[in-house]
A and B are shown apart, each in its own frame.
Chain A
Amino acid sequence: MIPIQMEINGQTIEMEVAPDLSLLDLLRAVGVDSVKKGCGEGDCGACGVLLDGVYVKSCLILAAQASGRRVETVESLGNVEHPHPLQTAFVEAGAVQCGFCIPSMLLAARSVIEAHPEPTVEQIKEGLDGNLCRCTGYVKQIEAVQTAARVMKEEDHE
């Protein structure tokens, strides 16, 4: 067992973990279950988190590797009372169907907007390439990212 310590959505945890425990399994074990397991092999993108602000697939990272670092999941974006513009845009655009891909896709989308404050459709497609969605055909999700980027820009100016 390896002692680890990390900050998850602003809360610091300390515990001992098996050396082969993935960050995904750790997060789910401590009750952060908005992070989904769609494959466990890095293919589906349902397990995305922000690690020190960088979008990664948590199933491909060992919990031990994430020790001493900052992990953010969709809960850090917003909540029902104070939704993030991306969450609002996804809801209003009809970009959410079964929803299983969504928490992670929102984080990937945030990274897209961070890199490209006015993303083109092509940039959004590239940014979401690793996040499989079987329900929506991505169309409304791409629209939602564009809408959110606009809203975020306006908010910046205020």
Chain B
Amino acid sequence: MTHPGLDSGAPRPDAATKAMGRARYCADVQLTGMLHGVIVASPVASGILSGLDVSAAEAAPGVVAVLTAANLPGNNRVGLIFDDQPLLVTDRVRMAGDRLALIAATTLEAAQRAARLVKFTIDPLPGVHDVRRALEPGAPLVQEQGNLLKEFFVKRGAPQTCRDADLVLEDEFVIGGQEHAYLETQGTVAEPQPDGSWLLHSTTQCPFYIRGRVARFLGLPISRVRVRQTVTGGGFGGKEDYPDEPAMCAAALAKATGRPVSLILPRDQDMQMSTKRHAMVVRHKLYASLSGRIRGVEVQVLVDAGAYAGLSTVVAERANISSVGPYDIEHVSVLTQVIYTNNLFGGPYRGFGAPQVAAAHEAQMDRLARAVGQDPFEIRRINGVSAKNPEFTSGEALPQAHLYGKLLDELEEKSGWKREKAAIAAAREADPGACEGIGLATIIYGVNLHWGGQRLDRGGAYVLIQADGTVNAAVGITEMGQGALAAMRTICAAGLGIDETRVQITEVDTALVPDSGPTVASRATVSGGNAVLDAVRQLNERLLPLAAGKLGLSGPEGVVCRDGVYSHPSTTVTTTFNEVVALLYGRRQNPGALGWFMSPEREYDPATGQGRAYAFYTFGGHVVRVRVDRATGLVTVREVTAAHDVGKIIHGLSAEGQVQGGVVQGLGWALSEELKLDAGRLKNPGFTDYLIPSSMDIPERINIVFLEEPEDQGPFGAKGLGEPSFISVGAATLNAVSHALGRDVSVLPLTPERVVGLARPDAEGTP
């Protein structure tokens, strides 16, 4: 049963402001005396900075400060988990986009002009550009301690005992990275306060990260640094940790000048410097019997971290545990290696490493299906987790394992799988040149933080009932476009039993709400929502007894509030929320509450990857229907069906929007978005040649199935959806193209050039 007040159909609270053009993003912040900051960056990916002359820049009109590593007014270390990155280069250049100098000037144009006057000499060094070569003896070292940053493992059963299996399927998948392409580029306005404290206005998913790193940079306690999130123009993971870097740059310039500094990255710099979805190489080997049952899987994942660790290890930890898929398999071995290169800076991106490994495990499932003559749905039913075989790769028995089979059923039905497959077969019969295909992919995803990050898996929310019966709430998770404000508002209103329009949620201000961890991993609804509900519970403990008194009852048991009216089955007397709030204030009771959430403590052994990796999981899947033009290599996506196990829908419009947006972004990754590198330098740092989908590229239809079986740990049973909406799109597209071409495909993105190559009859690897 749907809880009253959920999914009311009301528009998001931030939609009107945005549609009127009144939303204020980072670049819209204007302050008295504000300067504009720019970054001078290295165009080469590997070398030694042997000369840096900023005298001409310093003398340029309008310039107020020029900073290099030599006069940086703060800690030059950037590293979040590993101390391997400077804010400004001291000697070694490790990636194209490494910062050499910072400039603040009275106008942006003056700062840009001065930037062109900075003279530098970088003596080139051989770089590492192929993750497969990076660990070879004699490979150039990106970091002094070696190119292997970290390894993760799954060791379950004994895969070596599977070597006599009927079938062994093995391949190497080369999966490309991706640019987040949030429409609003990264930036911060740093504002020194008269009392020596700091206020930063930042576009970010994780204001608490910025606060921590800027405080460290300035050598201040975190209470002296306040970060206010500005309306954020998209994040997708790209505004998790990376925003700290422009924020530190802006703070450095503001400290040096004593004036507010706005530093907004231009698109080309944003694309070159900021984190990207990791390029990965996935070696996947599968042992199965002729019945189609998989006995064992061996996977090696090579994660191209780029030159600095950033959060690559965190992403890799998830890729590691996700690399087998939603299947119950007895023998599993996974080795995930996080490797330094001089390529782009790898980091969090919607799906956190899962989409790359899903492309491999789902391609393998389809190959297995073909090898044993089964339908792709059937092969997943045979191997998928279920009530009978509920064990995931981590060895944990999933309480909701039965939902996987249900998801398959719904996806098969909704996509018209059998009908479409028959139609494709008939078309081929009539015309052997017809090139239509359909592909399926499914995933399992922990919609919270992995065991390795569980200390951050928490959330806070402050809910304050005002004297007139309206409500202000401050939540520690962020809105970046995905609809978090709407979800928090709905949850708060439904918990109190009042209309949503009474509730006002404010964007994060680190001085007002507890550090709630990062808004990532599709955890906003659960962490923020549970925190809101905890505050609401405390408030209801005060409100309900007062309401009971008004209803003439001796105790609050059974009193409910709906649409702002308290009632009880035993009486016709009612009272309103406003009357009860007036009583609360009249008695001088506390009208506010701080709610808190933390995910349950879990046990997990990183040496074997066994234990409880995540607090809970969601299943998802996509069916993608394509037409391939063999001559041009162009793949047209005709229809996509998405199925998600969401627990409970909080705000239906936002949920659908996430799915549609995830599908289209996923198709971009799968088909057109290629990061073209020349020795680590991005050759297409703009939307002219880095092609994200436009309105012309979307499928004719996107069908959506939501499975609603409540998750005990979620607010009103809800799970997260932001990332699953993306994860299996690429894999399903790969499978669809493979189906259309009638051959194995082991690469993403499937750009026209690649597809033309794959479509040639003599192409290598043709089955």
Contact = CB atoms under 8 A, between A and B. Distances in A.
A28 B14 CA distance: 22
B656 interface: yes
Nearest to B479: A98
Contact of A134 (B21, B236, B483, B698): B236
A63 interface: no
A14 interface: no
B482 interface: yes
Interface string B684-699: 0011100011111010
Interface in B472-501: 480-483
B267 A99 contact: no
B20 interface: yes
B186 to A, nearest CB: 12
Contacts of B692: 132, 134
Q: Identify the interface centre among B21, B22, B657, B662: most chain A CB within 10 Å of its CB.
A: B21
Contacts of B480: 98
Contacts of B698: 125, 137-139
Interface majority SS on B: helix, strand, loop or mixed?
Answer: loop
A96 B184 contact: no
A52 interface: no
B1 interface: no
Contacts of A142: 695
B233 A98 contact: yes
A39 B687 contact: yes
Contacts of B702: 137, 139
Contact of B19 (A96, A130, A131, A132): A96
Contacts, number: 178
Interface stretch (B23-31, B141-149, B310-318, B411-419): B23-31
Interface in B260-285: 266-267
Interface string A86-97: 010011111111
Nearest to A128: B695
B481 A41 contact: no
B682 to A, nearest CB: 15
Contacts of A102: 18-19, 21
A136 B660 contact: yes
Nearest to A29: B107
Contacts of B663: 137
Contacts of B662: 137
Nearest to B688: A43
A26 to B, nearest CB: 12
B183 A97 contact: no
Interface of A: 18, 28, 31, 33-34, 36-41, 43-44, 46, 73-75, 78-80, 83, 87, 90-103, 106, 124-126, 128-142
27 contacts: A31-B30, A38-B183, A39-B687, A43-B686, A43-B687, A90-B15, A90-B19, A91-B15, A91-B19, A92-B11, A94-B11, A94-B654, A96-B12, A96-B15, A96-B18, A99-B15, A100-B183, A102-B19, A103-B21, A125-B698, A126-B696, A132-B183, A132-B692, A133-B183, A134-B183, A134-B236, A134-B692
Given A34-B20, A138-B698, 6 more contacts: A39-B687, A94-B656, A129-B694, A134-B183, A137-B661, A137-B693
